[in-house]
Structure formats: C-alpha cells, structure tokens
Structure 1
C-alpha cells in the first residue's frame, strides 16, 4: 500500500497569488518529484497563496500550513506520510532555528519531508543525515537572508515613493482608503459614493448620541457591508478608527515599520500631507464627532490597578484583558470585585465568550509564585555588553562563511563536495553555538531585585514600578477564569495551574507550585516523565505535568 503525500505550495504576495504562475510551478514540480518516488501517492494539496513565511503567517491557525500541522498533531495525518516542498524556505523564512523547529516537529510525528529542488527525501527516522541537514540549514539561512534584503529594498522604495507623493507625485497604492479607488495613472483617488455614505452615517450617528457599540450592533443587525479590511462583521475598532482618522479630512500621515520590544509596529514618520485624499467630512462634523468621546486624563490618576497591563491576555482567544474597577454597591456600600474583560469579545473581533474574570486572585497568585521562586537560578544578573558585542562580530563572520560555502556547494562538483559540506556544517555549528551564547548573555542581563515585591502596593508609583519590573522577565500572564499561566521570557515552559476563580490558591499551594516549576523549568516533557518514575525525586502532588508545567509550542 502506498503512503500518502501532501504537496505544499506557497507564494508571499497577492500579486504572485493572482498570477498563479508560482503556485502552478510548484504543483507541476511536485508531481514530477513523485514520479521518482512511486511508494507515495498524492493525497492532497496545501496552498498558502499570498501568505508570508518571513513573518510566520503561514503557521497561523487559519493558514494552510498551520492547518496541516494541527492535523499532524491531532493524529489525522498518518505516520510516514510525505510533505513535499519546493525547498525548505517554502516552509519558513524566519531563519534556521525556527525553520528547524518546524521540521523537527514534523519528524517527531513521523512525517517525512520531500525537497523537490534536490530530489531528496528527509526521513524522520534518519538521525544522522548530515548532507540533508546541511542543505536544509543552507536553504533556511539563504531564504531568511533574501527576505531581509527584499524587505530592506522595499522599505527604501517606499521611502522614495512617500517623498514623491508629498511633492505631488504618484499616489501610494498602500495609502488607499476603503472608500477610495486609485486611478489608473495613480495621480488621484476616485470616490466610492456608497462607502462614503456609510462613513457619513457613522459620523451622524455618533454626533446624535449613539455609542460605538450601538453603531456596531445597528450595522451588523442591518447587514451593512463593512468597509476597510474587516472580513466579516463590524466591530468597535473599525468604527472608532473611522471616526478618529484624519484621512476623512484629506490628510495622509506616512508610517514606517519599526521593531519595538521585539515586535514590528507601524509608527508615524514625517509631517502629515494635506489634501492628499479627497475630503469627505467637513472640519466641524469631524470635531463634533470626536468631541463625543470621553476624555481621558494623561498619565492616569489614582491607583495603578492593573498590575499586568501590557502583558495580560485571554487564554481563550489571545486578545488582551482590560481591567475594570467595579465600584461599590449603591445599596450596601460593599466593594464589588474588580474584573478583567477580553478585548476581543468586547470589540466583537472574535467569537470569544469568556465573560468577566475576577482580577484579585490572579494578582495574588502571580505575586505569590514570584515570592517563592529562586530568581537567581533562572536569571543570573550581570553586565555582558562587551561579551555580546564580541559574539555579534563572530556571528557576522560565521554568516559570511556560511553564505560563501553555500554558494560554492551549488557550483562545485566531484570530490570537493563532501569537504565543503563538512566546512558548512562546522560553520553552522559555530553559528548555533554563538547564537546560544548571545541568547544566554542577553537573558542574564535582567537586574534581579526581589525586594521590589515587598513594596506597598497601595501606592500608585510602586505599582507602576512593579509592573515595569515584572514585564522585564515575564512574557505574558493569561487566564480563562479557571486556569492561568505565567510564561517567563527565555524559558521553554509556562507555569500553569487551575485555581478558584474567586479565592485563588492558598499560600501552601503557591509555594509547592513554585517549587515544582523551579525543579522542572529547564526540562522537556519526556525528561519530566522519566523523572516521575524515580522514587523521591518529586512529591506525589507534583506528578501531573499538565497541571503545573505546560510546554510552549
């Protein structure tokens, strides 16, 4: 009986997707590849048209590859099936480490990988395939390098186009608004009267006294077509942004992408360009509509109540959790419990139905766990600036050498190939070691001062200080109201526990939970299970991995 093969095709841009050439080329080459391996038969195709592997979008739950991996993990894909790729960079362009992590995951589930470019199958049970490993590493490295260079060139082109547009040149296609269409010569925008009517109605409804949620519900009930990039229903973000955006006044303020705290963010750059778009809303209407929003006091006054602001998220949908002071009963004067609400549910952006979550138990659990953890074992404080600089220089040398050897491998023939592969392998090992050292040193630069946990948290400035301190080494805190997790930066596992939604956990349980995590924070699940069988290594109450320590995918 033949094993099943799955052919994966991906192109990065909508233009490539619409032409269909790249996708068809990958399909045709996959079929030719299968002719060389008659033990496999094509069972299905996986397509990601216009999906970026540079940003990892093909791994999301609604992407083709993301769905395939989910099927693999759930056991729906049979062992010894074959995933066919044009090259390893179709799978990922996020670099060697992340690409190899995906490949290893597939190998762990006994999925083989076919590389069309090299007419080669990487088999999950081959533990020492050096030539295959080197080819994959080289493809992942070059794919990342190419994407970085393209990204840089595209940014430079956009900068030129923005400067030209500011001087009356051709309009930017990416600057187009939902109610406008770019003219064929790209010198002007054409107005879509139907969508402009919707925008004007939004402003009129807001000025008349309707709140954002009322407008959203009215539009969704009437079945009004959405504007912008919303794929389904209206939500609060779309309506709010429409009212607050000065593009309705004809202004265009260029933005550029910057990496801030490890995340890509679009930030304003330069001065706004007047009369870039056709004006569709008068100044007085824009001012009246925006004046209906409740004003906020800059800097916030009173107690800094949400201690995990900026890194607390819903465990159900991944959106942030916002804090609400519930106030007191007007009849008894008793203080209601403060609560957290999912912003995804609140804005109608997701189907999340988590409702409210009691805040105080989560704060008590996080602070209790931090109190009992030995930070020095997890985070070693030191100033490693000079060492990191030296290692970065070594990293650049390794990357140049890898690039040179990779080019040579593609052209050389005969007996020199094994030697070049060995050299490439040595350089790759050196690069992996250097990257690991850099990561360890950056990880160890956290300034640890547990006395900050003893601050008086009834004082606003102390809560702000503690928030900033915790955010340096905690990646996120998540909860669904019954179970919560604390994910520490640079650690492979999240500390996860069930808790009483109103009472939290007693101090004895917090101490035991912290001790359990402390013992196993740097182990794999297999290592944990092996240790579980050793008498006296762990306590009886810490034998449930899923309750206390959760592997991060």
Structure 2
C-alpha cells in the first residue's frame, strides 16, 4: 500500500527571520511528523515562502501557497495528501472570512492540513463532525489576523512618530540616504562624500549648458568617472534619476509600499521633509535644470556629435509656423527644412535653406545687435506684467480673505442651527470658492515670481549670449570636438533665453533685392521686444545676404554679408551700396567653420 505523501509548507514573514531559528525549526518538525504518522515526505516539492507575509493573503496570491494550490488543481498533488504547517497562523493572517475560505477550499480539494505545533490534522470531514475543531481553527485565524493588524498599526504609528521627529527635530529615520551622502558615526547627521558631490554638481552644470542626459552619461563614461553603484558605466536613466531627485536640494520624501491588487507600489507617505539631507545643489539651479529639460523635450532638434543644429528649438517656418528640421543628405549637404513641407503637410511648400550659410548669417547678425536697444523695451514690458500680476494678486488675496470670513460666519451659524440645509449649501459653495481662489493665488504668485526673475536676469542673459558668440569663434579653432559640443550647446541655451524665434520666409517669384534674385528673409525676434527685430535678406543662391535692424517696421543699419569658400561669413564694406539712409557697415569676419 502506498504511503500518503506529505508536503512541507515553510513560511515566515520577513527575510530577517531567516537569520534566526524559524526555518530550521519548521523543517525539522515536518520530518518528525511525517515519520511518526507513516507519511512519505516529498521534499522535491517543498514549498517555501521566504520573506512573504501571509497578512492580507499575499502568500496565497504571489507566494508558494499559491503554487501549492495550483499543483493541487493540476493533479500533481493527489487527493489525500498532507500539507504540513507549523500552525494555522503560518498559513494565513488574512481576515477570518478570507483565511477560513482558504482553509476550507484546500480541505474541499481533498488535502489534509496538519499543524505541527499541536499535532492536529484538519480534514473536510473533521470540521463537519467536530464543532470544537471548527472553533479552534476560527480562533487561531482570528488571533493571527489581530496580531498582524496590531503589529501593523504599531509599526505605522512608530514610523509616523519618527517622521514627525525628523520634520521637527531633524531626527534621522534610517541610515538609508543618497549615494553621495553617508550617516555619521553618531547617527545624528549625514555627511557628504566630496568626490561624489562633485560628480552630481557636474551633471547639473552640463544639463544647465543644454546637454541631454544621454550625452552627459557619455561624457562621464569617456572620462572614466566611476559610478556610484556596481554598474557598467553611467546610464541616461540614472542621470535622469539624479536630475529628478529633490534630495540634491536637501528634501526627503518618506515612502510606503502599497500592496493593493497583489502588486507592490511605492507611494509618498505624508509630506516631504525639507533640509533633511545636506543640500548640494541650490534650489534655483535645480529648478532651472528642470526647465531646461522641459525646453529640450518641447523644442527638440538634431544635435549630432558636435551639436550640429545650433538653431534647434527656435527655428520656425514663416509660412506655416512649423519647426525647421536639420537635414543631412550628405556630409557637406546640410539643410534646414520645414517639418510640414518635408511631410507635404499643411499645404506648405517652403524650400530648403543651406544650413552652414544660414547659421553664419544668423550669428553675424546677432553680433550686430546693440542690446541697449532691446533693454528699455523688455524692461518696460516686464515691469508692466509685474504690476498687472501684483494688482491681480492683491485682488485675489482680498477676495480670499472675504470668502474665509464668510465661511467662518456660516460655521458659527451652523453650530446654532445644525439642520439648516441653506447653511450647508452655502458652506459647500464657500469651500469651493476658497479652493478656486487659493489655486488662482498660487498661479498668479508663480507668474509674478517668473517675471521678477526674468527682469532680474535680463542683462545677464544678454551678456551670456554676447560672451557665447565670442567663445564660439575661438572654440572652432582651438577646442576638441567634445569641448565644441559644450560651447555650441551653451550658445543654444543662451539663444533661447534672448531670441524668441528665427522665422524663415521664402521669396515670391521674381522678387529681387538690389537687382539680385531674392531667395528669402530670415527674421529674428526677441523676448519682450515686440517692436524690435533683425532681418536677413538672402540673395545669390544663399551665398550673400543683407542684414537690417527693424524698429516698428522701419528698416535701417544695412549690413552686407557673404559666405566664402573657406566657410567664413563676412561683413563687406565693398558690397553694393543700398539707399542713402542705410549705410553699409564696416568689414568684419566671423572666423571658424560654420
């Protein structure tokens, strides 16, 4: 006669328990019980949930108990087999109804459940015939669930208290911290790891220069900079993680695991704690880096190994408003082409513009800008926006205070007349109004701060653009390809801060300028200076151009420009003489390849 088979089910809640005696005790008890009852202990199918809690039934869904039930359903485990558990609370700590359902479901499949602690054997018949056993099983399950529930509440309360101490007293919750920090020996504060802090700061510096996360990772790898973890080099995803982490500005966000639906998801647990970590990046730089990344996602454009498209994100088609894309047909055939025209969309038929000549004309035209012409207009407009925002903020704050006072009055009346439907309706109305006003105040305040910051940085942004233009000329002669990428990337960021758009308008058939066939116009507009622009009129198959300053539609200060065979753009005093009121500028050269 074949011996019935027994299967050991070993479960303990956390991996830490595996360091103690739990595993050995449960395993030896299974062997002793099987030997004493004449059962064949099948250790080839031993089911072990190492570190899977039975609270909320996780082991039945994602652990070995679920696998055991599947094996029973598939016939791999025969009816009449024994499942050996130390106690019923090892099988489940879920609610009594769910735990009892699991137990009776197994028994209904013909499985006998033996509890090693007291030697009891539960079968479908024994529960039906022995009311005492039913009460025993229910009481064990109830006690198990209550213990887990109480433990969970205590742990939750302890962590809640720890978080409050961390928020108020600066108490450190655990030794866990970002990779550039470590907990001091007294376990009272975190200390920086200088060489790692410098790497994180470098990541932010490169990002603020307009370098994307993929390129940042490549730069760090090419320089042999060690990673913080045991990984094969830097990855763009980790660069993204660093840039998104508010830990760099000292903020800690407590998290908790939510296991709803059988999946573990990390969720924010309460408010974030400021100044929990030492800040290694100032908040302004952190927010600017986020803004730069957002701009890159929206403005996009081809960068290449040397940041090929310097006009990325600001070049627009003057016909349909679509973005101008960088197109490289061959090594020397580089163009800007309207995205819609390339796709034969929006009924746009704008021609291709030779990229090298276009970049040269734009850069040379920008060097002609006297930013003192821009500053008064921009300052006046920014100042007007600030004044409007300040007035709007005052009005909304006043309305918020009035609504708050009305709410308090309604609450006092409700205390006296708690059954008044009209007062309850008014309460709901005021709460909704206060919420809307609070959000409006937040948005207006954010707009105000943005305009103030922009006004404060006007001179700085224009100065950075002038400096970046000068640095580019030197970089083409002296710098390595990697350094050149950074220089052009910084210039692209400086352009975006000052130049609103660079628009391309093709000429109409037969249109001429000074007797030469006109190819088209390039118009540069500037943030905050609606009346001011620079125009570039391109002629002679895009080899020459005239630049104009335009104020309120009136053109002046004409400058002749041409692209030579050595890939340089020049201003030429010998160029055709235009009208008398617009003299040609002095000769100058924009050096380096364009």
Q: Answer yes or no: same fold by TM over 0.5.
A: no
Q: TM-score, normalised by structure 1?
A: 0.43
Q: TM-score, normalised by structure 2?
A: 0.40
Higher Cα radius of gyration: 2
Identify the structure with the greater strand proportion.
2
